[in-house]
Structure 1
Amino acid sequence: MEAMEPRHSAALAAGVSATASYTSRPPSPPYINVPVVALSGRYSMSIVPSFADIDPDQLAEEDLSIITQGRTQRANDRTIAWRYEMRRDAQPVLDFLYLGPVGAAKDQAYLLREGITMILVVRDSMLAGSFLSVVKNAHALGIEAEMLDIAGKLDVIPAFPRAINKINNHLLGIYRNQAIQKANAQSLGNDKVIIDNTNFKRGKVLLCCETGNNRSAMIAAAYLMSVFGLDMVKAAQFLSLQRFCVTFDDDNKNILRAYEDIIGARRIVNQEKYAGLGKTLAFGDAGRAQVKRPIEATEEGESGTGPNAMDFEMDEERYTNRGFAPFVEQEQSMRF
């Protein structure tokens, strides 16, 4: 859109001028670039689960270990082997999480061959009566089926934790249903659980939507960010390696970036909360953090001394040495 001269330049104070022309378009978020990782067919990307990378209030360390089995997950570049027809099939994102279109959820032979134990269909809430055949087909095979309705763009972020909880609760339920109470086993005298590895069947979840490239792909990316601590760019790259036809438009990338900020903030807050709780348990009242800083600490930070000085200086840096100033005094503008 062409630039327009300011209509209200008279409102500027005397001796002040704008350094750039006005535009009539609304402000837009910055473009988020997701680099193409490889096109050679030889690239691979590995991720490792770590409790330090997740929100401890959302998933316990033991649960993370049960869900991921502590295994390294690898995505291999599929660009050379990829065929257009493969978009109709589901592909494994992780060794327990698959992504594909609704059609894959109706393929009984595929579901049995891969050992799928749950199907999670992500659909538009306006289509709440659709995909009932998926549920019927799943129940005929003894597979759990869930529907996740999303009303629109504003409902996507609230849907992320709901979907992640559904997936994790199912995987934990599959594990615990096969656990053997040691208290019931002879010669074992505690109440911990063990698993009979010879007969153990791990839970596997198939995520799907109409195409397998939109809503369900967003859920898969959010899962990688929440459970494996990936940022938005790495999650999108990992997914594109596993399912080459996945694409994220600008709106979806901005939604995932916003979710990345949310889970990052929650992780920091809850990690500090649990760390503070540990100190309290270890040291009693001496380990309790002060709820409010004393005024002396605030003054020390602002004066450039004391333990908070560095934080204050870092905050000040936001307002100094900026590359663009929208308005300048007339004397300064004559220098440009």
Structure 2
Amino acid sequence: MDPFNRPGEISMTQDELSRYVPTHEYSSTAPAQPSMVIPPPSLPLYADDTSRFDTVAPSSHDFEYGEFASPEFFKSVSADRFNHKAQLTEWTYEMRREAQDFLVREGITLLLAIRSRRSAQARLVSGEKVAAQLGIEADAIDISDNQELIAEFPRAIRRINDHLSSPSSPALKSTSPAQRKILVFCESGNERSASVVIAYLMVMLNLNMVDALYIVQHRRFCVCIEEPMRHLLASFESILAAKRDVTKAKRDTLHPNWDAAQVQTPRKRSFSDLNDSAATAEHDTEMDMDGDRYVERNPSAPFQDR
């Protein structure tokens, strides 16, 4: 029996003698959660035209050097590494399980796992064993839940860029930075690892979340970014926009061609400066008259120790 629906009792909203005045419309069903609608990419859509999924190196990196990439990154990694032309390919869902088969064929040099701490403790998701067999590197980003990803995106991006730009290590003695490739994977390969790649494109290619999502999904059709992760990526996009604004403001301030009058901190001008400027302006004599008050003043400090 429902304790809230006793025989012989009616709700106050249905009692004609009740003075209760409803102010909200109630429903027995749970309220629907607001959904995040993903708009189409900003690039134009044409049938069988994959150009909208191409990636092109941006003209600038509008973030502080050292946060997502080391200062030496752009000296050792060519901009051509970010140019990639999308192609129409045949893809089946079973192909998502064939990652280990093309590690050697594709020349993968780093296996980066995006995994839960529970999977890490159980050693269920790890590339260390395969990496040791192939003589390549392996690393992992461990999180308690997806919400932690927004704080781990910068570390994952920096780890990828450090691998691409670092000098040869004992594990990579036969590869140069130009030959480095990273495989980002997770428990399913559908969301967490894909979100890291999307975040990477947003940072390094200055893409918005929607375009980055479509580019990744076009190359891996099984990618399924659920609504909570979409909101997380949208929040990360807002953070990146704020970081870009701060970095641009700093660089504009330090740029040698910037108007010095807008950059220098105003300092209090001395009386001699005021008098000099007044002397150059014959029509302005008020400055000199004001300075006469200080001619006969004792130059000593107003307070002295005894």
d(CA) in 2 for partners of 1:7 and 1:275?
A: 60
- Structure 1 residues 39, 277: CA separation in 2 closer, same or farther (over 3 Å shift)? closer
In the other structure, the counterpart of 1:120 is 112
Question: Which structure 1 residue ranges, 5 or more long, are not aligned?
Answer: 10-20, 90-103, 179-197, 291-336
The alpha carbon displacement at 1:217 in A equals 0.5
Change beyond 3 A, Cα 1:289–1:115:
farther
Query: Which residue of the partner structure matches residue 255 of structure 2?
Result: 278
Tell me what 1:97 maps to: none
Corresponding position: 1:221 with 2:198: yes
Instruction: Map Cα deviations across residues 29-79 of structure 1 (whole Å, 9 max, x no partner).
Output: 55222438879655332221124354244346762464353352222344x
Deviations 1:160-209 (A, max 9, x none): 11100110011111xx339xxxxxxxxxxxxxxxxxxx977521101011
SS at match of 1:74: coil
Alignment counterpart, residue 165 of structure 2, candidates 155, 167, 172? 172
The reply to whether residue 263 of structure 1 matches residue 240 of structure 2 is yes
Identity of aligned residues (%): 32
8 A contact 1:122–1:208 mirrored in 2: yes
161, 184, 193: which one pairs with 1:207? Answer: 184
Aligned with residue 55 of structure 2, among 38, 41, 47: 47
- Residues 1:60 and 1:142: Cα distance change in structure 2 (over 3 Å): closer
- Residue type at the aligned position of 2:120: A
Instruction: Name the SS for the 1:234 alignment partner.
Output: helix
2:240, 2:26 → 1: CA distance? Answer: 35
Q: Which secondary structure does the structure 2 equivalent of 1:75 belong to?
A: coil
- Aligned equivalents of 2:265, 2:21: Cα separation in 1: 54
Which residue among 264, 282, 304 is the counterpart of 1:288?
264
Flag structure 2 segments of 5+ consecutive residues without an equivalent: 1-12, 14-19, 170-174, 267-306
- Residue 101 of structure 1 is matched in structure 2 by none
1:69 matched to which residue of 2? 79
Measured in 1, the distance between the counterparts of 2:62 and 2:145 equals: 27
- 1:244 CA drift (Å): 1.1
Cα 1:39/1:215, change in 2 over 3 Å: farther
Paired residues, number: 235
| Map of 2:131 onto structure 1 | 138
Distance 1:254 1:157 in 2: 10
Rounded to whole Å, the distance in 2 between the matches of 1:260 and 1:23 is 36
Contact 1:118–1:204 (Cα < 8 Å) also in 2: yes
Query: What does 1:1-336 correspond to in 2, within 5 Å?
Result: 9=23, 28-35=33-40, 41-44=48-51, 45-52=53-60, 54-57=62-65, 58=67, 59=69, 63-64=73-74, 66-71=76-81, 72-78=83-89, 81-89=90-98, 104=99, 106-107=100-101, 110-129=102-121, 130-131=123-124, 134-173=127-166, 176-177=167-168, 201-279=178-256, 287-288=263-264
Give the TM-score normalised by structure 2: 0.65
Q: Which amino acid in structure 2 is aligned with residue 287 of structure 1?
A: V
Higher relative contact order (CA 8 A, sep 6+): 1
Q: Cα 1:224–1:132, aligned 2, differ >3 Å: closer, same or farther?
A: closer
Distance 1:51 1:64, change over 3 A: farther
Compared with structure 1, are the counterparts of its residues 133 and 241 closer, same or farther at alpha carbon in structure 2 (3 Å cutoff)?
closer
> Aligned letter for 1:250?
E
User: Match of 2:179, SS?
Assistant: coil
Normalising by structure 1, we get a TM-score of: 0.60
Indicate if the aligned counterparts of 1:122 and 1:149 stay in contact, CA closer than 8 A: yes
The superposition leaves residues 209-254 of structure 1 with CA deviations (integer Å, 9 ceiling, x where unpaired) of 1221111011010001011011110011001111111111111111
Q: Following TM superposition, by how much is the alpha carbon of 1:113 offset from its aligned partner in structure 2, in angstroms? A: 1.6
Bigger Rg over Cα: 2
